[in-house]
Amino acid sequence: MPKKIVSVKVNGRLFEKAVEPRTLLVHFLREELNLTGAHIGCETSHCGACTVDIDGQSVKSCTHLAVQCEGSEVLTVEGLAQGGVLHAVQEGFYKEHGLQCGFCTPGMLVRSYRLLIDNPNPTEEEIRAGISGNLCRCTGYQNIVKAVQYAAKKLQQTEKVAA
């Protein structure tokens, strides 16, 4: 099968790579770009461990083809921190103990990031609904919800200071 050239911006950096048309995005990220944050969990889009952000949408990269990202902007968990400073959702997961084993954490962080962009002040119910496509087998979700609430407050405070 002939390879296709994919031009995609990942975490702000442009990549042009030849890939087989059937290459899944999660494999492209992990094997071609050495971005191993998106975890391969269920490979059926049920667990969300592979969640990335593509053009402003949360996407499960285990069922998305790399060639579908032609011309797109992809954000992975590696792209959340800027200049060595954790993003508010990363800080929230750290401060509020929103992780245990860490397997679901990259996808949960990226999904929480998108949730807070789409809804900067979510209620607990909205957070739970917003992360419902991402499974965690360890935490019981309570501390994940607290982490997202922490991040929402921090982002709102940052916006007030900037204004």
CATH number at residue 106: 1.10.150.120
Domain presence at residue 143: yes
Q: Are residues 71 and 94 in the same domain?
A: no
Q: Are residues 67 and 97 in the same domain?
A: no
Domain presence at residue 21: yes
CB 52 within 8 A of CB 70: no
Distance CA 132, CA 128 (A): 6
Q: Over its length of 163 residues, how does the chain's per-residue pLDDT go in tens digits?
A: 799 999 999 999 999 999 999 999 999 999 999 999 999 998 888 999 999 999 999 999 999 999 999 999 999 999 999 999 999 999 999 999 999 899 999 999 999 999 999 999 999 999 999 999 999 988 889 999 999 999 999 999 987 777 6
Q: What's CA 103's distance to the chain center, in Å?
A: 13
Domain presence at residue 82: no
**Which of 63, 101, 95, 58 has its CA nearest to residue 77?**
58
Tally of domains within the chain: 2
The continuous run of DSSP H or E covering 74 comes out as strand 73-75
- Provide the domain limits for residue 21: 4-77
CB 53 within 8 A of CB 114: yes
Q: Are residues 63 and 93 in the same domain?
A: no
Considering the entire predicted model, what is its pTM? 0.94
Domain presence at residue 65: yes
Q: Are residues 72 and 102 in the same domain?
A: no
